[in-house]
Amino acid sequence: MTPVQTHLYDKVCHHLNVIYDQVDTAQPLTEVAQTLLSKMGLDQDDVTLPAPHQNHWTEQDVVLITYGDSIVTADEAPLATLHQFLKQHVNNTINSVHILPFFPYSSDDGFSIMDYSTVNEGLGTWHDITAIASDFRLMSDLVINHCSSRSAWFNNFTKSEGVGSDFFFTVDPSFDTSQVIRPRTSELIRATETAQGEQHVWCTFSHDQVDFDFRNSKVLESFISIIRQYLDNGVRLFRLDAIAFLWKQSGTSCINLEQTHEVVRLLRTLIECAQPDAIIITETNIPNRENLTYFGNANEAHAIYNFSLPPLLVNTLITGDCEYLKNWQMRMPPAQNGTTYFNFIASHDGIGLRPAEGLLDERELNTLLNTMQSFGGLVSWRSTPDKKQKPYEVNITLFDALQGTVKGPDKWGIERFMCAHEIMLAMEGIPGIYIHSLLATSNDYEKVKNTSQNRSINRHRWDHLKLTEQLSDKRSQHSRVLTKLNAILAIRIKQKAFHPNATQFTLQLGSGIFGFWRQSIDRKQSIFCISNVADIEQQIYLSDINLISTHDWWDLLSQEPINMDQPYLTLTPYQSVWISNLN
C-alpha cells in the first residue's frame, strides 16, 4: 500500500471498529475494510484524501425536488418528459435535481425498493438518468434503512438461502422495544414464515418495508456496491433516507444511536475519496437539536435537512408573528465549512411536526393543525413509546397551506406564497424547491381517494399537455408562480452574499417583520433580507437596519434604489426586500 492508501485503510478500519465494537462479525474487520475499498474502487494508487472543510457548493446551487413521473406524456418515458421540462423551464435558474426513488418498488411511492440496481421501467432507463445528470447535478435517494418485502433479498430471507437470507433485522421476545421511537402507528414487528420457522422482522415504517440488519457487514458491503453504481451513473448528491433508524439496540429508542452516526462517517469517508465533489445529505425528520448532531464535527453529513423551517415559516405566515421563527434562527449555529443546511419549505411528504417540538408550544401547534385542516389539509399520526398517538405531519400542498391566515382564506395567497420562498431562498444553506411549489399545485383529493394515503395530496401527477396549457395562460396560478419564482431565482444565484456558508445575522424588527443580514465570504456584499409577514401594510425605519449612508443601496427584488433621504420603507402585505450594496 502507498502511504495515502494506508491512511485511508486505517481510517476505514477505525470506522468499522466503532460500528462493530459489540458485534461478532463473520469475517475480520480488516478484510471488511479491504472489501469496502475494493467495491468503491479505492484500492488503486491514485487515491487522494480530500482536504477537510471544503465547500462543494456555491450561491448558484438550487435543487428541484420531484418524482420521476410528476409530469407525464403519452408514449414517452416520464424521465424523458421531466428532462424536457427542466431544460425548457428552469435551465437557467436551477442547476440540480433530486429525483425521488426511481427504482422498482412495491409501495410508499418508491421508498419500498425491490431492486436497487435497475431503473423502474415505468419511468425509463439508466440512459434517461445519465442524460439528466449530464445537464443537472443529480441527487438520488439511498434508501438504506429498509427495502421491499417483495425484493429478491427478502424472498431469499424467507427461503433461508442465497444473498439476502441474513440481511434483515429480527428480534426475539427478550428484545426490549419499550423505548422505541418511530413515525408510524402500525405494529413494529412482523411475524414471517421462513424455511427456518417463524421469525419476527423489524418494520419501522410498514410491513412492506423491512429493516436491514447492519450488524451483518455483508449488508454494508452491498450498499457500498450500490453507491459505486450510482456514482458511475452520475449521482453526485446522496439523500440518506430514514438514516436515523439504521441501528437497533435493545432497551434504547433505536434512533440516532452512535453506530448510526459512525456509519454516516464511514460513508462520507468513502464517497468523498471516490468522488470529491459528491455530498451526503441526511434525511432526519426529528427534533431540531437531534438533527444538528448529524453534522458531527464536519465529518458526517455535508448537509442536513432543515426540517424545522417548514412548520415555523408556515406558522409565521398564517399568524403574522415571526417570534418563533426568529428565536429559532438566532439559536441555529452557523454551519462549519464543509457542511451546510439544506433548506426547504415543501416536500413530497408533509409539514413535519416533530422538528417543531420544543420550538412551537402546544397552543401554536394546535393552531397550525386547525388552520391547515380548515384549508383542506390532512394529519398523519405516530405512536409514542407509551402507545399514545400524536400528530406527526400535516399533509397539504404549500400553495393551499398559505391561502390564508388563522382568520381564514384571503386575497393574499400568492403574495404570501412568494414571501415564503423569498425568505427561504435568502437563508444560509442550499435551497430545495418541490416541483409542486414551483407549479403552484393544489391539493389532489382524487389521488388521496385512489391510494388511501394522506401524503398523496401533495403528489399530483401532471399531464404534460394540460400543464403546458396552464403555463401558457398567464392568468393561471401555475404560470404566475413559475414566472415569479424563476425571476427571483435568477436574482438569487448571482449574489455572493447568498453563498450557503456566507454570514447570517438575525435582525430585531418586531414580530410582524422578519429580517436577517447576509454578508459574502469576501465581505464585499451585504444583503438585508426583510419581509412583512403580516396581512397589513407596515413600515421599517432605515435606521433600524443601519444602512451606511455613504453607500448606494438597491432592492434586488424590485431593482429599485433605496432612497436614503426617506426615514423609512413601506412594505405592503407579504412584501420582501433584498437590500444590497451591490446591484
Distances (CA, A) of 404 to 87, 319, 375, 417: 33, 10, 8, 10
pLDDT confidence tier of residue 209, bands split at 50, 70 and 90? very high
Average pLDDT of the segment spanning 184-188 = 92
Average pLDDT of the segment spanning 348-357:
93
Q: What is the pLDDT of residue 383?
A: 82
pLDDT digits (tens, 9 = 90+) for 51-103: 999 999 999 999 999 999 999 999 999 999 999 999 999 999 999 999 999 99
Residue 579, C-beta contacts closer than 8 angstroms, at least 6 positions apart: 527, 528, 529, 530, 545, 547, 553, 554, 555, 556, 562
Per-residue pLDDT, 49: 86
Q: Is residue 477 helix, strand or coil?
A: helix
pLDDT at 4 over 60: no
Instruction: Look at residue 518 in the predicted model and tell me its pLDDT.
Output: 98
pLDDT at position 5 is: 63
Residue partners of 546: CB distance under 8 A and separation at least 6: none
* Maximum Cα–Cα distance across the chain: 83
Taking residues 412-427, what's their average pLDDT?
98
Q: pLDDT confidence of 551, banded at 50, 70, 90?
A: confident
Tell me what the mean pLDDT of segment 38-46 comes to: 88
Lowest mean pLDDT among 34-43, 300-309, 496-505, 559-568: 559-568
Residue 1 pLDDT grade (very low, low, confident, very high; cuts 50, 70, 90): low
Residue 470 has pLDDT above 70, yes or no: yes
Q: Give per-residue burial for 62-90: e unless 16+ CB within 10 Å, then b.
A: bbbbbbbbbbbbeeebbbbbbbebbeebb
Instruction: Report the chain's C-alpha Rg in angstroms.
Output: 24
CATH number of 146-211: 3.90.400.10
The residue from 241, 349, 444, 535 that is catalytic is 241
- The string over 187-211, giving b where at least 16 C-beta atoms fall within 10 Å of a residue's C-beta and e elsewhere, is ebebebebeeeebbbbbbbbbbbbb
51 and 297 Cβ atoms separated by less than 8 Å: no
Percentage of the chain exceeding pLDDT 70: 99
Q: Kindly indicate the confidence band of residue 2, based on its pLDDT and cuts at 50, 70 and 90.
A: low
CATH code of the domain occupying 503-580 = 2.60.40.1180
Residue 136 CA, chain-centre distance (Å), reads 17
Assess whether pLDDT exceeds 80 at residue 211: yes
pLDDT score at 532: 98
Q: What 3-state DSSP class applies to 287?
A: coil
- Where along the chain do its domains lie? 1-49+213-305, 146-211, 503-580
Determine which of 16-20, 270-274, 547-551 has the lowest per-residue pLDDT on average: 547-551
189 dihedral zone (left: phi>0; alpha: psi -120 to 50; beta): beta
- Quote the pLDDT of residue 26: 86
The residue that leads in pLDDT, 367 or 386, is: 367
Q: How confident is the model at residue 488 (pLDDT cuts 50, 70, 90)?
A: very high
C-alpha 135/C-alpha 133 separation (Å) is: 5
Q: What is the pLDDT of residue 112?
A: 98
Q: Is the pLDDT assigned to residue 41 strictly greater than 90? A: yes
Q: Say how many residues make up the chain.
A: 583
Condensed to tens digits (0 to 9), the pLDDT of residues 507-548 reads: 999 999 999 999 999 999 999 999 999 999 999 999 899 888
- Please say if 241 is a catalytic residue: yes
Q: Which helix (H) or strand (E) holds 66?
A: strand 63-66
Q: Which whole number is the average pLDDT over 289-293?
A: 96
Q: What is the mean pLDDT of the chain?
A: 96
Lowest mean pLDDT among 43-47, 156-160, 280-284, 314-318: 43-47
